Amino acid sequence: MKSPLVLVRTLASAILMVALGTGCETVNTTETAQPAFQRNMVAEKRVITDSSLARRVQVQGVNVSEGPGGFLKVQAEVLNTTRSYQRFAYKWEWFDKDGNLVEGPSSVAVTRQVEGKESLFIQGVAPNVSVRDFRLKLYENAR
Amino acid sequence: MNRTLVSVLLAAAVAVLLGGCSTQATYVDPAGTRTLSNVGEINVQDWNMASEAMVNSLIAKHINSGNLKGSGPEGRAVMAISRIVNNTSIQIDTDMLVKKIRVSLLGTGKVVADITAGLGGPEDPLAAEAKREQQFLGTQKVAARPDYTLSGKIIENRTRQGNRTESTYVFQMALATRDGLAVWEEEKTITKQARRSAVGW
């Protein structure tokens, strides 16, 4: 039988290894101080029902553009405000000029993963040229 | 205890026993996040995400840029489906991906699908026969060949480390013109991990 000292040492090493292995992993980001682009940011209205998700994964801004084909293209910057890996899902909803929902098989929830303190861009393209407005939904229960 | 009370209790007990034996199914939104997923298969959510990525890319990179040229009705591009290769170890119906893309592209108002052209024969034999008849009689101008063909491949990669298993499914698609030039290509990779259960059931 192993001595208590050996057992304590083994246990302490295991705890240390677990702590090191699953510790917070964040992302360091570098970008140009004066970006060459100018985004067309849009004013947003947010309805937050899951404050726990809103605290952890935040939408930093939304910008919109339109190509020569007339399709609306939307980009949202999402930031993981925590120091740990997070999972979330998002879904775009598209509306025509009368406010009617434009549905299609591609209007689905998409799962994304983001490292601690990392920001990423999620993009959506309108399903057709009749789309004039959009809504972005964020879900927490993503696998 | 009176007879009525005994009957009620007996009925309740039977209901509880029968209810306990049955498994109640619940409906979930297939476009949501509550569908089931596992490592060994391409699940509904994977098909959804792959088709969403393909459609977004095709619209953003090719259709919205104004590069789409068509000979179909109202200047729409005529697209036919070519070979979609399944290089995975599982049996899949590639229409889980292709049909979603087709429906979305038709919804753009810029593309129509030719269902009379196909490698394994026409998808709609009656439409193919009608098209041949019109071409023969010359009653209506019908495009003989599609403007674009859509082809693709689905690849699988599996790996295991310790008690964790991982599956990667790579969806590759290309859109080619009549000249055989690929004018759009996209690849979407979906990777899933799972921890194997310590107990074998």
Domains of chain B plus CATH, in order, are 42-195 (3.40.50)
What's the rounded Cα separation, in Å, for the pair B115 and B21? Answer: 47
Residue B77, SS3 per DSSP? strand
Question: Within an 8 Å CB–CB cutoff, is residue A106 touching chain B?
Answer: yes
What CATH number does the domain containing A99 carry?
2.60.40.3230
Regions of chain B with pLDDT less than 50: 200-201
CB spacing of B33 vs A104 below 8 angstroms: no
What's the rounded Cα separation, in Å, for the pair A101 and A98? Answer: 9
Asked whether residue A11 is assigned to any structural domain, the reply reads no
What's the rounded Cα separation, in Å, for the pair B115 and B123? Answer: 5
Distance of CA B163 to the CA centre of its chain: 31
Question: Within an 8 Å CB–CB cutoff, is residue A129 touching chain B?
Answer: yes
Question: Within an 8 Å CB–CB cutoff, is residue B43 touching chain A?
Answer: no
Of A48, A46, A97, A35, residue with least CA distance to A72: A97
Question: CA of B108, closest CA in chain A: separation in Å?
Answer: 4
CB spacing of A69 vs B65 below 8 angstroms: yes
Chain B interface, best mutation among A71, A93, A106, A113, by max B CB count within 10 A: A106
CB spacing of A109 vs B55 below 8 angstroms: no
Asked whether residue A119 is assigned to any structural domain, the reply reads yes
Residues of A with Cβ-Cβ distance to B108 under 8 angstroms: 71, 127-129
Following DSSP, what letter does each residue of A21-78 receive, concatenated? HTS--B------SS-S----B-------S-HHHHHHEEEEEEEEEE-TT--EEEEEEE
Asked whether residue A67 is assigned to any structural domain, the reply reads yes
Q: What's the total number of domains in chain A?
A: 1
Asked whether residue A7 is assigned to any structural domain, the reply reads no
Chain A interface, best mutation among B35, B46, B59, by max A CB count within 10 A: B59
What pLDDT does B111 receive? 94
Q: Is B107 exposed, middle or buried (0-12, 13-18, 19+ CB in 10 A)?
A: middle
Number of cross-chain residue pairs from A and B with Cβ atoms under 8 Å apart: 84
Q: What is the DSSP letter of B28?
A: -
Residue A18 has pLDDT above 90, yes or no: no
Average confidence (pLDDT) over A18-29: 64
Asked whether residue A64 is assigned to any structural domain, the reply reads yes
Question: CA of A9, closest CA in chain B: separation in Å?
Answer: 24
Average confidence (pLDDT) over A12-40: 68
What pLDDT does B122 receive? 84
Asked whether residue A19 is assigned to any structural domain, the reply reads no
- Tell me the per-residue pLDDT of A40-83, one tens digit each, with 9 for 90 and over: 777 776 667 677 777 889 999 999 999 899 999 999 999 999 99
Which structural domain range is residue A39 located in?
A: 25-139
What's the rounded Cα separation, in Å, for the pair A130 and A94? Answer: 10
- Tell me the per-residue pLDDT of A71-120, one tens digit each, with 9 for 90 and over: 999 999 999 999 999 999 999 999 999 999 998 887 899 999 999 999 99
Q: Which of A105, A125, A141 sits opposite B64 (nearest CB)?
A: A125
Asked whether residue A95 is assigned to any structural domain, the reply reads yes
Residue A24 has pLDDT above 80, yes or no: no
